[in-house]
Amino acid sequence: MTVMLGRTGMEITRLGFGSWAVSGSGWTFGWGATDDAESVAAIRHALDAGVNWIDTAAVYGLGHSEELVGKAIAGLPEADRPYLFTKVGLVWDPDNPSAAPRRIMKPASVRREVEDSLRRLGVDHIDLYQVHYPDTGESLEYAGGGFGAVSPNATPLEEYWQVMADLKAEGKVRAIGLSNHTPDLLEAAEQIAHVDAIQPPFSAINRSSAAEIAWAHAHQTGVIVYSPLQSGLLTGAFSAERTAGLPADDWRRAHHDFTTGLTANLQLAEALRPIAERHGRSVAEVAIAWVLAWPGITGAIVGARKAAQVDGWIGAGSCELTPADIDEIATAIALSGAGSGPARHA
């Protein structure tokens, strides 16, 4: 099953392969050591299973994720190539890879980044080019729960969104989008050039982007959400013991979802198990199906580091939850106290 991504003309599967987790270690927001051969195999397995788009970002693995995606699609016939979505605006210091990347969207930096991404991916255009975060000119401190202060040197949205529109007009990119931008910023961008797609976080735990999704729905803007499994917490396979055993270079060890919020999050994940059993599905598939049932959401980005992990969520696109299931999940959200945001759509 495919659905139209806003007004882009691209028909995408409801699930896309997310390549943050395959980015490897050695940078601030890595998931620990990975095996490149296994990563490429996971991407190809998802494509073989019918997924027709891959989401990545320049900053993932400091370019390594894009290179892996390029390897995974190299040699594929044009008709079999997936849509490639990547992101711009998180700039790292190659001399200090462990430092948090900075949020920079200066026009010259954006143009340098798009050329680098095209080279790493091995393509002549990018299907969806997304601004990763609003420009603050400062570092991204995701693991600590914040997103950095705004520097006086930050590039205004009006300036960087115009550059994105220019790249689209030049054919470097097919569509342009905004990730992690609030409704007021989305509205400001829309006055300059249509926002083809947005990419907010959204899961049964993190429901805080409901307003952005509603804005997109009203503006014929596609919505591809990230972290529908809340970085593994909603797979049904996580536990306090597994969390304690995460490697030191896995960003999740320091995040509040895996520390102060862990008990509530695991309680919610466990509440999905009876629903999964009724449907003959995995807990992960039910968690993603809940996301896909939210009005306005076009598709969900789901990651995997091994081919077998893809099999755990690939059926979510065909999992139809009943109104009673939705009610049960809303009750479980309330009882657990997990996350934030509305437990059901208006």
User: What three-state secondary structure class fits 174?
Assistant: strand
**Cβ contacts of residue 154 below 8 Å, gap of 6+?**
103, 135, 136, 137, 138
Please, how many CA atoms are within 13 Å of residue 238, restricted to the half-sphere of its CB? 26
DSSP string, 3-66: EE-TTSS-EEESEEEE-SGGG-SSSTT-BS---HHHHHHHHHHHHHTT--EEE--TTGGGGHHH
Does 60 qualify as catalytic in the annotation?
yes
Q: Rounded to whole angstroms, how far apart are CA atoms 48 and 207?
A: 31
**Cβ contacts of residue 57 below 8 Å, gap of 6+?**
20, 65, 66, 86, 87, 90, 132
State the catalytic residue, choosing from 60, 83, 129, 160. 60
List residues with catalytic annotation: 60
